[in-house]
């Protein structure tokens, strides 16, 4: 050991290690990856109640949310809650829903992930003055895969881009369903 090096007491090393670990965990959770728990059946059968997914929070730095991908975002009516839904339409898309069939830019969307279908028909409301409607710049339209049991964009409007955490890219729990949520 050099004369200029002085060993720190064990308690000081321990405190520094804990502080650095907490700082690193906070940085990773805030800017890189965060785990989320699925509390409801609104995304059945894609995501089950109790599934746990990882969300790539950095992803939006490189690319905009894409149609058909599953994203976690701040719930527009209560920003203290997070929701997970599928992005159905991106800015500039024209959306219509007739008898449970989603039309984007006039064409029906192939949605093999929607097993539980409904017969919902979009009507003008406080969020959509006209039907069909066009998704504004900086906004997204999101729906749950379990349409009859999903509180989604049909009822609370658009998701602002600034409120999107990122895509759910990996299901890590339960172990028998580990993999990519599609």
The residues annotated as belonging to the active site are 42, 85
Torsion sign over Cα 109, 115, 118, 124: negative
- Cα distances (Å, whole numbers) of residue 142 to 22, 108, 116, 162: 34, 16, 16, 15
Residues constituting the chain: 182
Torsion sign over Cα 101, 71, 52, 81: negative
Torsion sign over Cα 58, 41, 154, 101: positive
170 backbone dihedrals φ, ψ, rounded to 5° = -155, 130
Q: Which of 179, 149, 140, 146 is nearest to 52 (CA)?
A: 179
Q: Using the 8-state DSSP alphabet, how is residue 26 labeled? A: H
């Amino acid at each position: 050991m050099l004369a200029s090096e002085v060993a720190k007491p064990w308690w000081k090393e321990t405190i520094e290690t804990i502080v650095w670990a907490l700082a690193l965990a906070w940085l990773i959770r805030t800017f890189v990856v965060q785990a989320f728990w699925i509390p409801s059946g609104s995304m059945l059968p894609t995501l089950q109640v109790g599934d746990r997914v990882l969300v790539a929070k950095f992803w939006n730095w490189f690319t905009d949310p894409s149609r058909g991908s599953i994203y976690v975002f701040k719930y527009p009516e209560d920003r203290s809650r997070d929701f997970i839904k599928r992005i159905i339409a991106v800015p500039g898309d024209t959306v219509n829903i007739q008898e449970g069939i989603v039309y984007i830019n006039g064409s029906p969307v192939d949605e093999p992930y929607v097993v539980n279908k409904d017969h919902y028909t979009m009507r003008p409301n406080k969020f959509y003055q006209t039907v069909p409607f066009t998704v504004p710049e900086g906004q997204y339209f999101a729906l749950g895969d379990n349409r009859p049991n999903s509180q989604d964009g049909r009822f609370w409007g658009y998701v602002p881009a600034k409120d999107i955490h990122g895509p759910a890219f990996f299901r890590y729990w339960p172990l028998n369903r580990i993999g990519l949520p599609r």
